[in-house]
């Protein structure tokens, strides 16, 4: 058996996985259990190297399940030995169950990563093609880890912080575990206070009403407009469909000062009506643009048949075009709902009266030094959960909506 | 050919052109205009009108406090025993101008006392007749504040059943010019915005935020799209997960980042210290610059600005990712197979096949995201409030208009933003035109 660059690269990739798995495990243990767990990175590195070496020493045909199982045991042994049986700088007697799970997960992850990356890598000299295949696998693996961490970490911190108490947070900012000895009432204390003392039930309701009304108004305006642009011939039609896109490149902040000034003088500023005038105006161009694209894709013969059979234009739209465009309508509605639900700037500038706050405005009002920050995070969770549930439920439609209209953001 | 023939052919031509816009077509056009009218009215009044209004406000001396139109305000007081017949009651009207600076012209006041009271004497500017008093004050200066006195006497019927004269509110009239509509103009707002050396700092911060934020989001998006471009179990879940940062409300994720990055009790700093990456906590969002030494050179690394750029890239990579993934999946697999047969390596395939195919969507995406990042306000405002060297033009609008309470100066910055956007949009249209042609 000859050893060449294949072996070196394979072992290096194993070392990298060892390092990453140990680091992540250390952070996870700390965040989940609250233990001061500093992983021994050198041990992880060596364990990963040994694991990769075990895999690579076998010829390719022999790399079957037993080979990986033996690699797994080699990983565990090396990991424990090189860290002097304290892989997370804690005696194994402290939280033995969690540590055991962590060790198994780390070594399992290392073995799995090596199995995925190295299953067909020769230990001898390998060609550029095989080198790049290996590198691609390593990059992809790193990518999955990287993206998952950067997306999950903030949301995890958001949820866990909202369940803690002020003292616990100051005592150990790394301890984001759930204290299961507490009653659910204590755990959810921030939420209970937000709903009972800070009026968040009302904010939730107002946000829902404002968003739903915005969707309805937007559809009422954009459906006829989109139909006209897509189907009817009139002068300036080309200009219309082009300039719609330009309108939605106008930033809200540029509109804020004039609208603030005029709405103040008209007495519309500190009202829900004011918001319901501004929100649809910013969403109608997007909705119109998305819908006209969809209407154009519908076969015009169906509508012509309707016209021949004596329907008027309104009848055609109501009985033929709209039923065919339900997926597009769903996408547009969800997208507009999301924009209105998340809207911050106008709500912040216009609303002073706590009785008519929308959720984002309510959450901003929690950002003060007098209010503990687990309340702020609980507010953030309350604002996030409904829109994420809607998103996951209708993901297909929303993704369509996003790709069709949402270079905007 | 004779002359009449020419005339008749011209007539024919005219008739043909006229028949093109027949009654049916005209009806269709009318219907289209009718269907578009509500949208047009709305967009004009809420988007285009404010755009033009910015130009107007930017050359006017308007402060936030002056938005409320100046008005005369009066409060009434009564001294004396109401329930003793024949006593002289002293009625004080405290008159003031609600504005400290703007004057009000043609101010008059009239008031009627309850039955049973009769005015005996009053201030020189007022005329009395029985229960009624009418005063003419003329022009009130800004900050005007004065007490006007009048005296009245009560009869027995009133003393038996007294009604407070304050129950009838005095009537006031007065004209003040509306700061938004009067014809007072000034260049001070522009002078103020451009004179400050700050402006160029703000300008360059905006440009670097926009360029690096856009590039960051696109590079992350390209990477994520590359990851999810193959079939595997759990792919749909990951795709949904990767979209979270964009779908969640900005308010929630911005505050989460603030808490995550907090120098004293933030999780990230605690992790970094635990891993022994740093000794002292890093104030990611509050420190303007850190000194870095590299190859014997020291330079200032803009820390807070980099953090908000990273936030921008984090929050908007899902969008680039969706677009790029959609385009990737429409590239035919034939090309990849052919490349594979020809012995192209994975990197060569990516560089010579995927990337050229993606160039169109990448450049369109870059232009649109560039404009949208340039327009971004919420993210920076919530993260740093524009402090520590992160103030962009959009945050400057808020800073000038609301924090410094000078609407005119804010509008002037908004005009600068608008002019730059017109430049970008022209580039965009020209570019898209070329793409299509």
Q: Does A169 touch chain B (CB under 8 A)?
A: yes
Residue among B43, B322, B410 minimizing CB distance to A285: B43
Note the pLDDT tens digit of each residue in B187-228: 888 888 887 778 888 999 999 999 999 999 999 999 999 999
Highest-scoring range by mean pLDDT, A47-56, B83-92, B167-176: A47-56
Determine the residue among A153, A204, A261, A373 to mutate to test chain B binding: the one whose Cβ has the most chain B Cβ atoms within 10 Å.
A261
Instruction: Output the pLDDT for position B308.
Output: 95
**Over 50: is that where the pLDDT of A156 sits?**
yes
Instruction: Output the pLDDT for position A1.
Output: 59
Query: Which residues of A fall within a CB distance of 8 Å from B351?
Result: none
Q: Does A402 touch chain B (CB under 8 A)?
A: yes
Closest Cα in chain B, distance from residue A152 (Å)? 8
Instruction: Output the pLDDT for position B432.
Output: 64
Q: Which of A94-103, A195-204, A241-250 has the lowest mean pLDDT?
A: A241-250
Residues B252 and A382: their CA atoms lie apart, in Å, by 9
Pairs across A and B, CB distance < 8 A:
295
Note the pLDDT tens digit of each residue in A306-318: 888 888 888 888 8
Ranges assigned E (strand) in A172-220: none
Instruction: Output the pLDDT for position A276.
Output: 94
CB B305, CB B202: distance < 8 Å:
no
Query: Which residues of B fall within a CB distance of 8 Å from A240?
Result: 36
Integer CA distances (angstroms), A32 to A104, A228, B262, B270, in order? 16, 57, 20, 14
Q: Which of A104, A144, A107, A2 is nearest to A59 (CA)?
A: A2
**Over 50: is that where the pLDDT of A406 sits?**
no
Query: Which residues of B fall within a CB distance of 8 Å from A224?
Result: 35-36, 38-39
Q: Which of B305, B270, B302 is nearest to B289 (CA)?
A: B302
A residues 201..240 contacting B (CB < 8 A): 220-222, 224-225, 227-229, 232-235, 237, 240
Q: Which of A217-221, B111-115, B212-216 has the lowest mean pLDDT?
A: B111-115
pLDDT level of residue B9 (50, 70, 90 thresholds): very low
Instruction: Output the pLDDT for position A373.
Output: 85
The residue of chain B nearest to residue A256, with distances taken between CA atoms, is: B50
CB contact under 8 A, A250 and B421: yes
Query: Which residues of A fall within a CB distance of 8 Å from B411?
Result: 257-258
Residue among B47, B226, B245 minimizing CB distance to A255: B47
Residue with the larger pLDDT of the pair B265 and A326: A326
Q: What percent of chain A has pLDDT over 70?
A: 97
This complex has an ipTM of 0.90
Query: Which residues of B fall within a CB distance of 8 Å from A258?
Result: 49-51, 53-54, 57, 411
CB contact under 8 A, A259 and B421: no
**Over 60: is that where the pLDDT of A409 sits?**
no
Residue among A225, A342, A398 minimizing CB distance to B39: A225
Query: Which residues of B fall within a CB distance of 8 Å from A136?
Result: 346-347
CB contact under 8 A, A254 and B397: yes
Closest Cα in chain B, distance from residue A76 (Å)? 22
**Over 60: is that where the pLDDT of A79 sits?**
yes
Instruction: Output the pLDDT for position A408.
Output: 44
Residues B116 and B87: their CA atoms lie apart, in Å, by 12
Residue among A221, A277, A381 minimizing CB distance to B38: A221
Q: What percent of chain B has pLDDT over 90?
A: 21
Note the pLDDT tens digit of each residue in A139-151: 999 999 999 999 9
Check if CATH label 3.90.79.10 holds for domain B189-436: no
The label of the residue with tokens 């005119």 reads: B408
Note the pLDDT tens digit of each residue in A171-182: 777 777 777 777
Instruction: Output the pLDDT for position A402.
Output: 65
CB contact under 8 A, B375 and A152: no
CB contact under 8 A, A280 and B42: yes
Q: Does A243 touch chain B (CB under 8 A)?
A: no
Residue A281, burial from CB neighbour count under 10 angstroms (0-12, 13-18, 19+): buried
Instruction: Output the pLDDT for position A404.
Output: 61
Instruction: Output the pLDDT for position A188.
Output: 87
Instruction: Output the pLDDT for position A226.
Output: 92
Q: How many degrees, rounded to 5, is the angle at CA A230 between CA A224 and CA A233?
A: 95
- As a whole number of Å, the CA-based R_g of chain A is 29
Q: Does A347 touch chain B (CB under 8 A)?
A: no
Mean pLDDT computed over every residue of chain B: 84
CA dihedral B419, B423, B428, B433 (to 10 degrees): 120
CB contact under 8 A, A403 and B425: no
Instruction: Output the pLDDT for position B20.
Output: 62
Residues B85 and B349: their CA atoms lie apart, in Å, by 106
**Over 50: is that where the pLDDT of B405 sits?**
yes
Instruction: Output the pLDDT for position B433.
Output: 55
pLDDT level of residue B2 (50, 70, 90 thresholds): very low
Q: Is B165 left (phi over 0), alpha (psi -120 to 50) or beta?
A: alpha
Closest Cα in chain A, distance from residue B247 (Å)? 7
Check if CATH label 2.60.40.290 holds for domain B67-175: yes
Domain extents in chain B? 67-175, 189-436
Angle between helices A373-393 and A326-342 (to 10 degrees): 170
**Over 70: is that where the pLDDT of A228 sits?**
yes
CB contact under 8 A, B250 and A349: no
CB contact under 8 A, B256 and A237: no
Query: Which residues of A fall within a CB distance of 8 Å from B246?
Result: 402, 409
Note the pLDDT tens digit of each residue in A34-73: 777 788 888 989 999 999 988 888 888 888 888 888 889 9
Instruction: Output the pLDDT for position A405.
Output: 53
CB contact under 8 A, B322 and A143: no
Highest-scoring range by mean pLDDT, A195-209, B21-35, B96-110: A195-209
Note the pLDDT tens digit of each residue in B295-345: 777 888 899 999 999 999 999 999 899 889 888 888 888 888 898 888 888
Locate B301 and state its tokens: 């690394």
Query: Which residues of B fall within a CB distance of 8 Å from A232?
Result: 28-29, 31-32, 35
Quick one: chain A helix, strand, coil %, rounded to 5? 75, 0, 25
CB contact under 8 A, B398 and A284: no
pLDDT level of residue B8 (50, 70, 90 thresholds): very low
Residues A288 and A245: their CA atoms lie apart, in Å, by 10
Residue A77: how many CB atoms within 10 A of its CB?
A: 13
pLDDT level of residue A403 (50, 70, 90 thresholds): low
Q: What percent of chain A has pLDDT over 90?
A: 35
Domains and CATH numbers, chain A: 5-171 (no CATH), 191-405 (1.10.3720.10)
CB contact under 8 A, B256 and A155: yes
Q: Does A58 touch chain B (CB under 8 A)?
A: no
Residues A202 and B115: their CA atoms lie apart, in Å, by 48
Residues B248 and A158: their CA atoms lie apart, in Å, by 12
CB A51, CB A18: distance < 8 Å:
yes
Q: Which of B236, B50, B75 is nearest to B145 (CA)?
A: B75
CB contact under 8 A, B256 and A140: no
Residue with the larger pLDDT of the pair B415 and B83: B415
Closest Cα in chain B, distance from residue A382 (Å)? 9
Integer CA distances (angstroms), B368 to A180, A252, B64, B361, B413, in order? 48, 16, 33, 11, 22
The residue of chain B nearest to residue A229, with distances taken between CA atoms, is: B32
Q: Which of A335, A337, A362 is nearest to A348 (CA)?
A: A362
Determine the residue among B29, B34, B43, B402 to mutate to test chain A binding: the one whose Cβ has the most chain A Cβ atoms within 10 Å.
B43
The residue of chain B nearest to residue A153, with distances taken between CA atoms, is: B260
Residue among B262, B374, B425 minimizing CB distance to A246: B425
């Amino acid at each position: 058996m000859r050893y060449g660059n294949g072996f070196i690269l394979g072992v290096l990739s194993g070392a990298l996985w060892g390092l990453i798995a140990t680091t992540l495990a250390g952070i996870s243990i700390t965040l989940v259990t609250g233990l001061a767990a500093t992983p021994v990175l050198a041990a992880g590195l060596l364990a990963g190297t040994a694991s990769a070496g075990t895999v690579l020493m076998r010829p390719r045909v022999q790399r079957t399940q037993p080979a990986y199982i033996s690699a797994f045991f080699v990983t565990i042994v090396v990991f424990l030995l090189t860290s002097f049986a304290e892989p997370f700088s804690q005696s194994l007697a402290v939280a033995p169950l969690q540590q055991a799970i962590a060790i198994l997960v780390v070594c399992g992850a290392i073995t799995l990563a090596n199995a995925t990356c190295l299953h067909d890598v020769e230990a001898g000299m390998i060609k550029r093609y095989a080198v790049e295949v290996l590198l691609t696998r390593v990059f992809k693996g790193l990518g999955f880890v990287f993206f998952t961490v950067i997306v999950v970490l903030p949301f995890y911190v958001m949820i866990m912080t909202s369940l803690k108490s002020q003292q616990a947070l100051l005592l150990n900012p790394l301890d984001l575990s759930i204290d299961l000895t507490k009653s659910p009432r204590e755990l959810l204390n921030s939420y209970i206070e937000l709903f009972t003392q800070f009026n968040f039930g009302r904010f939730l309701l107002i946000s829902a009403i404002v968003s739903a009304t915005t969707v309805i108004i937007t559809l009422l305006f954009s459906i006829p407009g989109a139909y006209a642009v897509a189907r009817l011939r009139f002068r300036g039609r080309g200009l219309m469909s082009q300039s719609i896109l330009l309108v939605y490149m106008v930033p809200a902040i540029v509109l804020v000062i004039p609208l603030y000034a005029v709405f103040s003088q008209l007495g519309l500023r500190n009202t829900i009506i004011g918001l319901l005038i501004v929100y649809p105006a910013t969403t109608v161009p997007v909705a119109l643009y998305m819908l006209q694209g969809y209407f154009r894709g519908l076969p015009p013969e169906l509508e012509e048949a309707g016209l021949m059979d004596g329907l008027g234009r309104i009848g055609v739209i109501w009985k033929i075009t709209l039923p065919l465009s339900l997926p597009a309508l769903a996408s547009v509605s969800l997208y507009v709902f999301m924009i209105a639900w998340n809207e911050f700037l106008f709500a912040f500038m216009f609303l002073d009266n706590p009785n008519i706050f929308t959720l984002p405005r309510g959450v901003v009002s929690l950002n003060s030094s007098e209010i503990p920050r687990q309340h702020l995070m609980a507010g953030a969770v309350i604002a996030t959960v409904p829109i994420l549930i809607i998103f996951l439920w209708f993901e297909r439609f929303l993704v369509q909506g996003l790709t069709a209209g949402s270079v905007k953001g | 050919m004779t002359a009449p023939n020419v005339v008749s052919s011209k007539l024919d031509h005219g008739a043909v052109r006229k028949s093109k816009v027949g009654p049916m077509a005209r009806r269709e056009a009318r219907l289209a205009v009718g269907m578009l009218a509500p949208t047009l009215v709305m967009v004009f009044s809420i988007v285009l009108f404010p755009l033009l209004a910015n130009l107007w406000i930017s050359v006017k001396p308007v402060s936030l406090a002056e938005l409320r139109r100046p008005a005369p305000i009066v409060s009434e007081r009564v001294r004396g025993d109401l329930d003793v017949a024949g006593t002289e009651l002293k009625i004080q009207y405290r008159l003031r101008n609600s504005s400290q600076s703007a004057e009000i012209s043609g101010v008059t006041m009239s008031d009627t006392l309850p039955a049973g009271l009769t005015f005996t004497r009053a201030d020189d500017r007022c005329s009395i007749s029985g229960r009624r008093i009418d005063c003419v004050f003329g022009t009130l200066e800004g900050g005007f504040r004065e007490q006007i006195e009048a005296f009245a006497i009560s009869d027995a019927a009133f003393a038996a059943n007294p009604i407070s004269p304050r129950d009838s509110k005095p009537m006031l009239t007065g004209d003040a010019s509306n700061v938004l509509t009067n014809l007072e103009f000034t260049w001070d707002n522009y002078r103020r915005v451009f004179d400050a050396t700050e402006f160029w700092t703000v300008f360059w911060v905006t440009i670097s935020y926009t360029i690096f934020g856009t590039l960051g989001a696109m590079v992350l998006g390209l990477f994520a799209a590359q990851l999810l471009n193959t079939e595997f179990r759990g792919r749909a879940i990951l795709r949904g997960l990767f979209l979270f940062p964009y779908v969640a409300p900005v308010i929630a994720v911005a505050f989460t980042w603030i808490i995550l990055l907090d120098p004293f009790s933030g999780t990230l700093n605690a992790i970094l210290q635990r891993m022994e990456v740093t000794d002292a906590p890093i104030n990611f969002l509050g420190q303007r610059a850190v000194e870095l030494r590299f190859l014997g050179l020291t330079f200032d690394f803009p820390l807070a600005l980099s953090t908000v750029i990273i936030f921008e890239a984090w929050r908007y990579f899902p969008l680039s990712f969706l677009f790029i993934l959609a385009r990737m999946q429409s590239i035919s697999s034939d090309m990849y197979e052919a490349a594979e047969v020809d012995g192209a390596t994975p990197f060569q395939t990516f560089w010579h096949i995927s990337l050229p195919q993606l160039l169109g969507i990448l450049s369109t995406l870059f232009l649109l995201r560039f404009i949208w990042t340039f327009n971004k306000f919420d993210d920076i405002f919530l993260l740093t409030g524009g402090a520590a060297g992160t103030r962009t033009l959009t945050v400057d609008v808020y800073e000038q208009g609301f924090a410094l309470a000078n609407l005119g100066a804010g509008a002037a910055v908004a005009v600068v933003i608008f002019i730059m956007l017109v430049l970008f949009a022209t580039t965009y249209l020209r570019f898209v035109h070329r793409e299509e042609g």
